[in-house]
Amino acid sequence: MTAKVESWGSRVGLILAMAGNAVGLGNFLRFPVQAVQNGGGAFIVPYLVCFLLMGIPLLFVEWSMGRFGGKYGHHSTPFILDSMDKRKFWKYIGVFGIFTNLAVAAYYCYLESWTLSWVWHSISRTFAGQSQDEVAGFFNSYVGLEMPFETIFFWLVCLLLNTWILSKGLSGGVEKVAKIGMPLLIVFGVFLAIMAFNVEAGVAGAINDASVGLNFLWTPDFSTIWSPKVWLAAAGQIFFTLSVGMGSIQCYASYVKKNDDIALNAMSAGWMNEFVEVVLGAAIIIPISVGYLGVDKVLEMTQTGGLGLGFKTLPFLFEQWGTVLAILCGVCWFGLLFFAGVTSSLAMGTPVMGFLKDEFGWKHKNAAWAFGGLVFILGLPTVLFFNYGVFDEYDYWAGTFSLVVFAFFEIILFAWIFGMDKGWKEITTGADIKVPSVYKFIIKYVTPLFLGVVFFSSLPGVWDKITNKDIYQKIAITTDPKELELLNETILFVNASRLLLLLVFLGISYLVFVAYKKRKKEGRI
């Protein structure tokens, strides 16, 4: 089946696949920690404002851009953007839509493999009888410099599984997984939320009721409401959770028919993601952790992000509920994370594959396995040199900064160059709902302003990152020779990883140039 005739099997499958693209590990590991660190219940105010003024508009924009490009046979962002304005540089801005997916998949598949491994360890009772420190130590050794063979094994299994599913096509692979994975994710999440709500002080070692954890998470600190840091965190979470600014939404949408509804589809996928994040994501990890560890301990652990709670702490806490529930909850929690991860990583393969099929005539299966091979090569440093900060560098440059850059340029293209009148027609054509007309104003003025503020506010942090400010500050206060050696080696590895990512971006740009020349020669431009 060629890219031009490939399509989604059903509307439900498309919406579930789009929701799966958005619903990822960040919904369950990142969002609760962000809320705790940025004002608790008060964080919801900037979060929802960012969702309504930036998230929903970007969903409308990316869905309509994808459908528009798909009408001309384009299934990747370089030529989707090129179809909207013929100035040559837009296709190179579109390179972000391929680069981001490839680079994020390179480290995301490794993170995803942890969840698969932890499902196995929950079933095999690895954590039985271990203290919290021992569970944390197990994780540290799993990703450490002397990692066990199973670390590589589960990563390869996860990578091969993703590639195999992608090779089956949209309706035969991605859509089928979404139809199975998303409902299971919801079922697992509801079960764990019920377990969390039933945590009771004095039962099975708990020191607090579930209400203490929920109050800790949602008690508003309105003194933070006007802090630029909190608003930037809220905007960052919206990017992270909706997968906007990546190019995967445009690719998925490019396979819908020219008069298919996109407005309701965008709203459905967006609000389904918000339900999973705000309702289920906030109802599991914090209430259980506070119930058994107390507020002070959890507050301390949130400083290292959600991974510490999710992988180093919850397996120990599940063991307090007895053997059967420990296995069941472990399988549900890490199975939930696995399905959240795999439905997102599958979306990352489609833009790369769409580009190879459209521009170089690759067959679908060959494109899928090529993507898997590229992820293997690019992802290997994140596995082998995790402790040297390579994983974090990929996450920052590909999974954070690139998203903001691409989203900023695509909203300018859509609203100001393609034109808001034509853009609005694209959004509303075939719509099964009436899109509030205020969004025409929001997309043209408010969202670009929001994105501009986020982009320019991030530049000082970008410079600090480039100059390795944090690492040099640690070197200045470190006296331990071994730690100093590790920090100096870290600088070498993070700089090498940045160079590698830059070369990947330039390499994709060259392929886009070659594809453009090929189109010109064949008279397709």
Distance, in Å, from the CA atom of 136 to the CA atom of 118, rounded to the nearest integer, reads 13
| Residue 146 binned pLDDT confidence (cut-offs 50, 70, 90) | confident
Please give the single-letter amino acid code of residue 232. Answer: L
Give the H or E element holding residue 77.
Answer: helix 77-84
Whether 90 shows a pLDDT value over 50: the answer reads yes
Average pLDDT over residues 195-210: 93
**485 φ/ψ angles, rounded to the nearest 5 degrees:** -65, -40
pLDDT in tens, 315-363: 999 999 999 999 999 999 999 999 999 999 999 999 999 999 999 999 9
Class of domain 11-465: mainly alpha
Other Cβ atoms within 10 Å of 501 Cβ, number:
20
CA dist list (Å): 297 to 35, 213, 224, 281, 303:
16, 12, 22, 20, 10
Residue 2 has pLDDT above 60, yes or no: no
DSSP conformation letters of 478-493? ---HHHHHHHHHHHHH
In this prediction, residue 457 carries a pLDDT of 86
- Which pTM was predicted? 0.93
Residue range 416-429: mean pLDDT, rounded: 96
Average pLDDT in the 233-240 region? 87
Q: How far apart are CA 430 and CA 147, in angstroms?
A: 53
SS3 of 378-425:
HHHHHHHCHHHCHHHHHHHHHHHHHHHHHHHHHHHHHHHHHHHHHHHH
Q: What are the tens digits of pLDDT across the range 52-70?
A: 999 999 999 999 999 999 9
Following DSSP, what letter does each residue of 308-332 receive, concatenated?
HHHHHTHHHHHGGG-HHHHHHHHHH
Which 3 state secondary structure label does DSSP give 219? coil
Domain ranges, ordered by start, for the chain: 11-465
Tens digits of residue pLDDT in 280-309: 988 999 999 999 999 888 888 887 667 778
Percent of the chain residues past pLDDT 90, beyond the cut:
70
- Total residue length of the chain: 525
3-state secondary structure 232-250: HHHHHHHHHHHCCCCCHHH
Residue 432's Cβ-side half-sphere holds a number of Cα atoms within 13 Å equal to 9
- Cα→Cα distances 207→199, 210, 287, Å: 9, 10, 12
